[in-house]
Amino acid sequence: MTLCRVGLPCAVLLAVSACTDNSSGLPKEAAMVSVQTESFAHAEDFFSGSKYVILETSDSCLLHGQTKFHTSDKYIVAYSPETGFCTFTMDGKLAGRFSHFGQGPGEYLNVSDFYVKGEEIWCMLLSQKKIVTYNISTGNLGREIALPDIFCYMAPLGSSLMVMSPAYSNRMMYNFSVLNLDGGNIVDNYMEYDVCSSRLFDDFNAFVGEDEECVYATLPFDHTLYRIDPNGCAPFVSYSFDTPDRLPEDDQQTRDLGKIADDYRLKRVVKWLGPYAKVFDDVCFQSFSLMCDYGILPFLCRYSPDGGEVKTLRIGAERFAGYPYLTVPPFEFSSGYYVCSMTADRVLIAENILGDTTFSDAGLTEESNPVIFFYKLRDS
């Protein structure tokens, strides 16, 4: 299973199914998926249930400001530059906290990405050009892996490989590189580019999903989902969106990311793809965001890789019956769930609008830590 950020139903056709190269397992041709952004399905078409976790609040761990989250089977891990790393159990209890900000051995200046694997937190240290691991409970340093250049994002590929991306920002001039964790060396590079950019985006991550065999990746201002496995990298799904504005049809290798970012800053266009999930091999979910009359809103589309109807859900413009707190984009898809976080003040505002007292009765205040919501993705 893949892991991983009301109205009339829309019926759109999945135009081309991905072909598979029997020798490498990589698709010969990307599937083409057309997504409507003005015709919407119902939340019941996407979800079959929900649950939430109220994160414990303590003086040593106050998650205010910009916070990133990742989950595993056992833990919810939060990181913010101000607080460091806070680990919670799946019932919201604080299980550990550490902060190693600094320039010394085992310390970090800028954690651009992290993920949870077993009892370890793996961290990409952007400016220090290395990957480090910390024990999830104690914060003790485990491994340090020096990198040949700056990388921003990472995702595990099996037990011995790591896929990394600079998203156009390093001098190796490849958007995806595969690191051998045992030897600490780069073994493959994919998707060369000519123009280096220092532009990074807060709500973008190059790696949007993974399963046992591969990693799913994307790039800024690109509507293609790439599949990376030990055999190589290839386009997997190409999305088209019926938005008022469209991305430029430029050469991926020669594009100037900084200029595109400036030109499309206020355009009504899908700038990049969000988390992706494939459930039981016959249902796919792709998240994305789009500037609308209501502001920038999250969307979710659902389709079958075998073709047929594509459904779109607009999130945040109205309340859904049965899912009244579903208003924000996912930070990941995990174990068949759409996982998102809401700050305590937003939860309480929604609760007041709904005439509900569930969270305030549980002791939630505006100063509390966020609430993590899990929405079960419908598999049929």
- Residue 56 inside a domain? The answer is yes
Q: Which pLDDT value is given to residue 3?
A: 39
- Residue 44 inside a domain? The answer is yes
Q: Which pLDDT value is given to residue 4?
A: 40
The edge-to-edge listing of strands for the beta sheet with 141-146 is: 111-117, 120-125, 130-135, 141-146
Which residues fall within 8 angstroms of residue 86, CB to CB, at 6 or more apart?
61, 63, 77, 78, 79, 94, 96, 97
- Residue 129 inside a domain? The answer is no
- Residue 344 inside a domain? The answer is yes
Q: Which pLDDT value is given to residue 21?
A: 37
- Residue 135 inside a domain? The answer is no
- Residue 36 inside a domain? The answer is yes
Region for residue 206 given its phi and psi (left: phi exceeds 0; alpha: psi -120 to 50; beta: otherwise): alpha
Q: Which pLDDT value is given to residue 342?
A: 96
Q: Which pLDDT value is given to residue 295?
A: 83
| Count of the separate structural domains present in the chain | 1
Low-confidence ranges of the chain (pLDDT < 70): 1-28
Which residues pair with residue 70 across a beta bridge?
Answer: 77
Asked if residue 60 lies in contact with residue 268, where contact means CB atoms within 8 angstroms, the answer is: no
Cα-Cα-Cα-Cα dihedral of 80, 82, 87, 91, to 10°?
-80
Evaluate the CA torsion angle 61, 332, 272, 313 in order and state its sign.
Answer: negative
Q: Which pLDDT value is given to residue 269?
A: 93
- Residue 171 inside a domain? The answer is yes
* Structure confidence by residue, pLDDT tens digits, 36-61: 999 899 999 999 999 999 999 999 89
- Residue 83 inside a domain? The answer is no
Cα-Cα-Cα-Cα dihedral of 84, 87, 145, 1, to 10°?
-130
Rounded Cα gap, residues 178 and 161, in angstroms: 7
Q: Which pLDDT value is given to residue 90?
A: 97
* Structure confidence by residue, pLDDT tens digits, 151-178: 999 999 999 999 999 988 899 999 999 9
Which residues fall within 8 angstroms of residue 159, CB to CB, at 6 or more apart?
none
Q: Which pLDDT value is given to residue 379?
A: 85
Q: Which pLDDT value is given to residue 7?
A: 30
Structure tokens belonging to residue 177: 């590189």
Q: Which pLDDT value is given to residue 16?
A: 33
Residues of the domain holding 344: 14-18+27-66+147-377
Structure tokens belonging to residue 255: 């594009």
- What is the reported pTM? 0.90
